Amino acid sequence: AQTVTQSQPEMSVQEAETVTLSCTYDTSESDYYLFWYKQPPSRQMILVIRQEAYKQQNATENRFSVNFQKAAKSFSLKISDSQLGDAAMYFCAYKVGSGNTGKLIFGQGTTLQVKP
């Protein structure tokens, strides 16, 4: 069975600094999707970044980038130039299988605190 593990329950970063959130997963599949979602204190979860496993290039969205290590089954999120609005809970997620149901498996979450 696929699993997703976020080993850092809480992280903190100084405003304008860089922080990396860790995620590892376990799967026997070769093609899959990985996601990072952000849940601000208001609770509406939004997608931060998406990575397709067959793409070797790491995904980037403005200040957010990933370090995707397929062999190591690692998918970390780097936030550069951290802003107060980045404070949230971050979830790593894996899309199950090749079908179109869109089922995701989520990690336990990492709460990020941004200090002014």
Partner 1 sequence: DVKVTQSSRYLVKRTGEKVFLECVQDMDHENMFWYRQDPGLGLRLIYFSYDVKMKEKGDIPEGYSVSREKKERFSLILESASTNQTSMYLCASTDPGSHHEQYFGPGTRLTVT
**For binding to partner 1 (CB under 8 A), which residues are involved?**
4, 6, 9, 33, 35, 37, 42-47, 50, 91, 95, 100-104, 106-109
- Sorted by sequence, the CB contacts under 8 Å of residue 114 that are 6+ apart come out as 12, 13, 14, 15, 82, 83, 84, 86, 87
If the CB atoms of residues 46 and 116 are measured against partner 1, the closer one turns out to be: 46
Two structure tokens written together for 26:
């376990």
If the CB atoms of residues 28 and 98 are measured against partner 1, the closer one turns out to be: 98
If the CB atoms of residues 79 and 107 are measured against partner 1, the closer one turns out to be: 107
Q: How far is the CB of 17 from partner 1 (least distance, A)?
A: 26
**Pick from 53, 49, 48: nearest CA to 25:** 53
